[in-house]
Amino acid sequence: MTIAEQTAPTAAAGKSSGGGGLGRYILVRFLLIIPTVFILVTLVFFLMRVVGDPISASVGGRLTPDQLAARLAEAGYDRPVMVQYFEYIGQIFTGDFGRTLTDNREISEILVTYGTGTLELVFFSLVVALAVGIPLGRFAAYRRDQIPDAALRIFAILCYATPVFFAALLLKLVFSVWLGWFPLGGRASTQTQLVLDRISGSTGINIIDALRTGRWDLISDVLSHAVLPAVALGLLTAGVFLRLVRTNLIGTLSMDYVDAARSRGVREGRLLRKHAYKPALIPIITVMGMQIALMLGGAILTETAFGWRGLGFQLAQYLGARDFVAVQGIVALLAVIVALTNFAVDVIAALIDPRVRY
Amino acid sequence: MATTGQRRRAFSAVGLTATLALVLASCAETENIDGGGSDGEDGGGSISVGTTDVVTSLDPAGSYDNGSFSVQNQVYPFLMNTPYGSPDVEPDIAESAEFTEPTEYTVTLKEGLTFANGNELTSSDVKFTFDRQLEIADPNGPSSLLYNLESVEAPDDLTVVFTLASEDDQTFPQILSSPVGPIVDEDVFSPTELTSSEDIVEGNAFAGQYAITDYTENELIRYQAFEDYNGLLEAPETDVVTAQYFTEETQLKLAVQEGDIDLAYRNLSPTDLGDLREDENVTVHDGPGGEIRYITFDFNSQPFGADTEDADEEQALAVRQAAANLLDREALSEEIYQGTYTPLYSYVPEGLTGAVEPLLEMYGDGEGGPDAEAAAAALEEAGVETPVELNLQYSPDHYGNSSDEEYAMIESQLEADGLFDVNLQSTLWDTYNAERVEGVYPAYQLGWFPDYSDADNYLSPFFQEDNFLANGYSNTEVQETILEQTSTADEAERTALIEEAQEMVAEDLSTLPYLQGAQVAVSANDITGVTLDASFKFRYASLTR
């Protein structure tokens, strides 16, 4: 039997089972979103009831015990926890996330109003992470085991080891307070926000709305407010990307096909840029899903540190007020976002690398 | 001809350059941003105010917090209100307000009142306002303040008759100036459920000194002077005020220091305020505040309390007296709070009608300082052996970040002369509030912010039967005196009763007040009209440049 005859049946077998394998893989990944979100919502539901209720938190110190009990009964907080739980789950399945307890706002409205803020922050942070992590990782691989490589590895460790709130405070201190280069916090200045809020069809994403106005003063104001928060949150992930790109690039540089190219006389620089670089980026895609989840978690601290009014900031506010309906709703949404993001990443990874499906 | 690689490099260079330009441009100062209201420009006739308050609702039926009430004070009309510099209420949009029967309080509105949307403001709106408060009775709302209101009638367009359950309730006029008092437009607000802030702003349902033209909850509010305001207070000195909401005290402090805002009000930390007092570019304004801090004694579980093995009323009183003699309020005020809280020697804080200082005269060195000898004498006279073991509880998360230091200092003050052996413990608020009413804590921290600027709000909730303290204290004579003052119309007589009640409670020491929160605002040097009075309402309308 020739090599072609030996390989042909294998290829045919692979071709006939690949479509079904991918389809089943995608279906399983999608269905896993449901129990993931369900478990998280359940955990949050019970944990929030352990820490107290919003009525006691706000007026507990000025009502008689009977008055407080009456208010709790009126709000239904004195019912058995399981009764409240099944009622809440039932509402979730009908798409009713309820209203916040402390400021009586629809959860869906909260999610839309503040979700755009978090989306904007995560986008800017991802840009920083990719813009910093990938080129530096590539450079570190190119200068493997030299001083620049060592310095960059230390830099990477510092990036993902430094608590994001500490990085945020440090950046504010240096660049806002001492140097005065950037604003202290917020998504935009008061006047800019007033203008953007009045745009017809405002998206809630300040940079998009500013670009739509075509006004450079608004665009630069929005960007200036975004720099420090994006750097604080983005560097967290940039360190991971830097190490990943470096490691993968060094790995692909030692592959046989690269040796073959080198033996054909391809220069080292071209090897790095053309032959080894792109395959080294593939793991970035798979890691990105997890990093986005970490970014959403880090966004809570970043938004709080910079007064960036997104979902993370609101979540912290509602936690302090023991508004468990609001916390449940926001956490549920964040869980869905993370689950969907990871699903998308898994699908892309499976499309790029068929080995992932099996 | 350029190769593929050369084209890619060219595109990369262009992309990098564009990105760099964007980043560099973001460092540039932004200018010529017009954020003006309907008139297009704010120009120089505007003032910006910064705060860390949190607004929960513009609907008066759905909020009972400082942040929300601060906004409502600027934009809604009240039947009764406090003039600048006084804690006592007078008719605001009312022409007259008086008891026409012992249980009937009749208010006559001024003629020609309107809302900013052009709707007439009549007695129908007033009746609607209070009916919906009781109908909605939101858990977060202030409807509990209408405990004495039985019904509201509007016999004609200008007349409103409130029927009360108890006679001659002298606190009712004050309640009409409180968070339950803002009058709302019946054509905009729902009668049965809370109305969203967006609908309220869109409906322009305002008739106070200002109307709101732009509203982004807890981010910014733009106020525009309402030209047809016809109330007790004067027309605003400044046409436009923009309120910016900060998330951190530090940001607020830096914003006023850098001139990004003209005035900062609530809340600045003692440390930040101390720094600002040294800054020549800003002016710090102080005024009396309504918040009080006090220690509550549980009469059942405190040393020698009713439920203890060695229960003895006299000895229990001696323990409370000793604590009252040992407390150094000046030290707490200066070292912990740097003057943002001032010494309090009374149950009714300074600035309110009827406030006296019996604790200053009866305990300590007579000048506000501690007196260890007096404390020792009180204990010895009652036959109490020292040191007295005292469990002292506080909440680290409900009354601000300085509670740890505050109670550490109180502990050291009580132990300084060996008269007490204090076991200081902290409990998070949710558990704390549940356990305190069960008598778990012999002595514990509490704070209070008034519902309205009247002495009764510092007496009835604390010392009447079924009070919220639930600390086992009951003195019939005190209760009768407090009840009597609530229905005494003659001002002098009522004041005398209030003073008497304070002195009686000072003898019993159910609670031991020690600090009164000050109102503090920090402004640019060219801002005037900052009024911080015992109404505890900070009104923007008096601000000017």
pLDDT of residue B12: 53
Nearest one of A239, A30, A276 to A141, comparing CA atoms: A276
Q: Please tell me which of the candidates A55, A64, A195 has its beta carbon nearest to residue B467.
A: A64
Domain contains A223: yes
Place of tokens 């909605």: B136
The DSSP annotation for A206-264 comes to HHHHHHHHT-HHHHHHHHHHHHHHHHHHHHHHHHHHHHHHHHHHHHHHTSHHHHHHHHT
Task: Give mean pLDDT, residues B421-434.
Answer: 91
pLDDT of residue A17: 47
| pLDDT beyond 90 at B488 | yes
The DSSP annotation for B74-111 comes to HHS--SEEPPTT-SS-EESSEEEEEEEETTEEEEEEPT
Nearest one of B510, B465, B468 to B483, comparing CA atoms: B465
Local structure of B165: helix, strand or coil? coil
For residue A305, the distance in angstroms to the closest alpha carbon of chain B comes to 8
Domain contains A6: no
Q: How many CB pairs under 8 A join A and B?
A: 139
The DSSP annotation for A314-352 comes to HHHHHHHTT-HHHHHHHHHHHHHHHHHHHHHHHHHHHHH
Contacts of B474 (CB under 8 A, 6+ apart): B465
For residue A350, the distance in angstroms to the closest alpha carbon of chain B comes to 28
User: Chain A partners of B19 at a C-beta cutoff of 8 Å?
Assistant: 131
Nearest one of B533, B181, B138, B125 to B350, comparing CA atoms: B533
CB B485 within 8 A of CB B479: no
The DSSP annotation for B360-384 comes to HHHSTTSSSS--HHHHHHHHHHTT-
Task: Give mean pLDDT, residues B363-383.
Answer: 96
For residue A338, the distance in angstroms to the closest alpha carbon of chain B comes to 27
pLDDT of residue B200: 97
**Token pair for residue B298?**
């549980």
Domain ranges of chain B: 46-281+525-542, 290-518
| Nearest chain A residue to B399, by CA | A61
Residue ranges of alpha helices (H) inside chain A are 3-31, 33-51, 54-59, 65-75, 81-93, 107-142, 147-161, 164-171, 190-197, 206-213, 216-253, 256-263, 268-270, 277-306, 311-320, 324-352
Alpha-carbon gap, residue B120 to B157, rounded angstroms = 10
Task: Give mean pLDDT, residues B490-505.
Answer: 96
Lowest mean pLDDT among A73-77, B306-310, B500-504: A73-77
Secondary structure in 3-state letters for B424-465: EEECCHHHHHHHHCCCCCCEEEEEECCCCCCHHHHCHHHHCC
Using the Cβ of B433 and the Cβ atoms of chain A, whether some distance falls under 8 Å is answered with yes
Give percent of chain B with pLDDT exceeding 70.
92
Question: Structurally, how many domains does chain A consist of?
Answer: 1
CB B55 within 8 A of CB B217: yes
CB B139 within 8 A of CB A73: no
Q: Do B26 and A223 make contact, defined as CB atoms within 8 angstroms?
A: yes
CB A318 within 8 A of CB A100: yes
For residue A192, the distance in angstroms to the closest alpha carbon of chain B comes to 7
Q: Among 3.10.105.10, 3.20.20.70, 3.90.1300.10, 1.10.1370.30, what is the CATH number of B290-518?
A: 3.10.105.10
Alpha-carbon gap, residue B50 to B120, rounded angstroms = 33
**B317: number of Cβ within 10 Å:** 18
Q: Please tell me which of the candidates B25, B222, B434 has its beta carbon nearest to residue A220.
A: B25
Mutation for testing the B interface, residue in A190, A271, A274, A311 having most B CBs under 10 Å: A190
B287, B333, B337, B392, B504 from B406: Cα distances, Å: 22, 9, 9, 12, 27
pLDDT of residue B18: 53
Q: Among 3.40.190.10, 3.90.1150.10, 3.40.1390.30, 3.40.50.300, what is the CATH number of B46-281+525-542?
A: 3.40.190.10
b/e B337-359 (16+ beta carbons within 10 angstroms → b): bbebbbbbbbbbbbbbbbbbbbb
| pLDDT beyond 50 at B41 | no
Alpha-carbon gap, residue B377 to B283, rounded angstroms = 46
Using the Cβ of B251 and the Cβ atoms of chain A, whether some distance falls under 8 Å is answered with yes
pLDDT of residue A20: 64
Q: Do B430 and A52 make contact, defined as CB atoms within 8 angstroms?
A: yes
Q: Do A104 and B446 make contact, defined as CB atoms within 8 angstroms?
A: no
Q: Give the CATH number of the domain where residue A49 resides.
A: 1.10.3720.10
Secondary structure in 3-state letters for B317-329: HHHHHHHHHHCCH
| Nearest chain B residue to A105, by CA | B196
Place of tokens 């960059």: A152
pLDDT of residue B529: 95
Q: Do A191 and B34 make contact, defined as CB atoms within 8 angstroms?
A: yes
Domain contains A13: no
pLDDT of residue A44: 84
Nearest one of A317, A305, A328 to A58, comparing CA atoms: A317
Task: Give mean pLDDT, residues B366-388.
Answer: 96
pLDDT of residue B100: 96
Place of tokens 């514990």: B444
Q: Work out the mean pLDDT of chain B and round it to a whole number.
A: 90
pLDDT tens digits, one per residue of B445-475: 999 989 888 999 999 999 998 888 999 999 9
pLDDT of residue B391: 97
How large is the greatest C-alpha to C-alpha distance in chain A, in angstroms?
92
Q: Do B56 and A190 make contact, defined as CB atoms within 8 angstroms?
A: no
User: Chain A partners of B242 at a C-beta cutoff of 8 Å?
Assistant: 190, 194
| Nearest chain A residue to B469, by CA | A64
CB A188 within 8 A of CB A229: no
pLDDT of residue B9: 56
For residue B263, the distance in angstroms to the closest alpha carbon of chain A comes to 14
Per the DSSP assignment, residues forming a β-bridge with B151 are B163
pLDDT of residue A265: 81
Domain that holds residue A63: 20-357
Q: Do B248 and A65 make contact, defined as CB atoms within 8 angstroms?
A: no
**B81: number of Cβ within 10 Å:** 24
For residue A59, the distance in angstroms to the closest alpha carbon of chain B comes to 9
Q: Do A192 and B398 make contact, defined as CB atoms within 8 angstroms?
A: no
ipTM of the shown complex? 0.72
User: Chain A partners of B144 at a C-beta cutoff of 8 Å?
Assistant: 67
pLDDT tens digits, one per residue of B238-265: 999 999 998 888 889 988 998 889 999 9
pLDDT of residue A4: 38
State the 10-residue block means of pLDDT for chain A, 358 residues long: 39 46 83 85 84 73 78 82 88 82 84 90 93 92 91 93 91 91 89 86 92 94 96 92 89 78 77 69 74 80 91 88 85 82 80 63
Alpha-carbon gap, residue A305 to A283, rounded angstroms = 31
